[in-house]
Amino acid sequence: MSDAQLPPAVAISRDVVFRDLDGEAVILDLASGVYFGLDPVGTRMWQLIEQHGALDEVLRVMCDEYDAPPDTIERDLGVLVRQLLDKQLLVPAQAQAS
């Protein structure tokens, strides 16, 4: 991804649980009580973040799977990742290892 403000890879925070509810999802941080709802596209982004971590790979797969302009997908992915980082539901990948 070209957004210099985002880390190249992210990881799910340790105390976060994810529940898929028929294509939509809820993310909950058990430690803080913060929760976040996802629509079907956001749910797919979350699944790919969990699987790959590297945002470039998440973007590549999303572009393969969805019939939308790549810049739109990149923008939407960036918005979601920023929101999840702000709520500490995601962390930069290197921060997870420590």
Q: What is the largest CA-CA distance in the chain?
A: 38
pTM over 0.75? The answer is yes
H-type alpha helices, the chain: 40-52, 55-65, 70-86, 93-97
Cα separation, 44 vs 40, in Å, equals 6
For the stretch 42-89, pLDDT in tens is: 999 999 999 999 999 999 999 999 999 999 999 999 999 999 999 999
Please give the structure tokens belonging to residue 66. Answer: 């969805």
Query: Between the CA atoms of 75, 13, 16 and 82, what dihedral angle is there, to the nearest 10 degrees?
Result: -20
